[in-house]
Amino acid sequence: MIHRAALGMGIRRPLARLMSAAAEAQPLGFIGLGNMGGPMAKNLLKAGHEVVGFDVSRANLDSFQAAGGSAVESPLAVARRAKTVVTMLPAGSHVLQVYSGVDGLLAQGGADAGSLLIDCSTCEPAIGQEVARLASLQGATTVDAPVSGGTPAAEQATLTFMVGGPEVAVRQAEMILRHMGKKVIHCGDAGMGQAAKLCNNLVLGITMAGVCEGHALADRFGLDQKKLAEILNISSGRCWSSEVYNPCPGVMEGVPAARGYTGGFACDLMLKDLNLAANAAVVSKPKLGLPMGGLALQMYSQMSARGDGMKDFSGLYPHIAGEKKS
């Protein structure tokens, strides 16, 4: 509590902290301080909150501490210090581990009736529902709040959160999430934040592949690519992937296609989300076939297998149209 006491003395106390009663009363917890979680936790610190953090990586913890965070040794230790805890983890298996492991958030002496646990990881809606159930056994409340927007949005606090959970908990979580993002969308009960994200990214993965094929066909027809984009964007082919994030080089400035498909939303992350969607469809009742989603998954898999998994997902375009030999 030394860190809190020091801040409490009013030295270098930021304005935002003065304005936030919650920040005075309670430190926040943050688990998973990597590429996304690291900058998100730093935005909570910038907003004047005391933040108690944990990560399995020593380097991530060091960076967090250098920014003013307090490092502890386990998720349980975070839950002991903080009533509101944000988690940002690579996959559902890590979420289950961090929540219900032996030194997890829900272990004895950890989260209780006063706790709000906000999971920003992307995973199956069923995981969000399971941790909600486990937490409720101890009276704790959870919301699932996966994000859209990549590392730059995490750094600039412009993420969008799709949130599932009880109305009151979502409103409470929103006060924290607003420090890390611009939009907070309440999607329904537990798991519905995850559901909304997976459905959106399923549509996105398919439409991006569709726009890539449209531009590839235009290439063969000899149709001007800027002209095609202009036509799509005032016609029924209009979509975010054509209008905001066009995958064809030479059509737009400031998008990954204009800089060799660096930055942006990695192919491997799209692949992860399409795989979650496909797996969810297989185990759903009644079962669901996703032919387009399944094919898109295989196309991004091929792109990754050819060595472009870290490139932006719009880099599918040259894989379809054929690389220009220069």
Binding string, residues 63-82; x marks residues near its own copies by CB under 8 A = --------------------
Could you say which of 204, 248, 251, 257 contacts its own copies (CB under 8 A)?
204
Residue 197 catalytic?
yes
User: In the range 123-142, which residues lie near its own copies by CB under 8 A?
Assistant: 125
Burial of 227 (0-12, 13-18, 19+ CB in 10 A): exposed
What is the separation of C-alpha 218 from the centre of its chain, rounded to a whole number of angstroms? 34
Return the number of other C-beta atoms located less than 10 Å from residue 100's C-beta: 16
> 123 by DSSP, 3-state: which?
coil
Catalytic residue among 42, 197, 226, 285: 197
CB of 320 to its own copies, least distance (A): 7
| Helices 267-283, 192-221: inter-axial angle, 10-degree rounding | 120
| 266 contributes a contact to its own copies by CB under 8 A | no
Report the length, in residues, of the chain. 326
Residue 27 near residue 70, CB atoms below 8 Å: yes
The answer to the question of residue 299 lying near its own copies (CB under 8 A) is yes
Q: Could you say whether residue 251 binds its own copies (CB under 8 A)?
A: no
Our finding on whether 237 is near its own copies (CB under 8 A) is yes
Rounded CA-CA distance 126/131 in Å is 9
Closest CA to 121 of 98, 154, 155, 87: 87
Residue from 182, 210, 258, 272 binding its own copies (CB under 8 A): 210
DSSP 266: B
Q: By C-beta, is 56 or 223 nearer to its own copies?
A: 223
Would you please indicate which residues are annotated as catalytic (active-site) residues?
197
Residues forming the site for its own copies (CB under 8 A): 125, 148, 160, 162, 183, 185, 187-188, 191-192, 195-196, 198-204, 206-207, 209-211, 213-224, 227-228, 231-232, 234-242, 244-245, 277, 280-281, 284-286, 288-293, 295-296, 299, 320-322
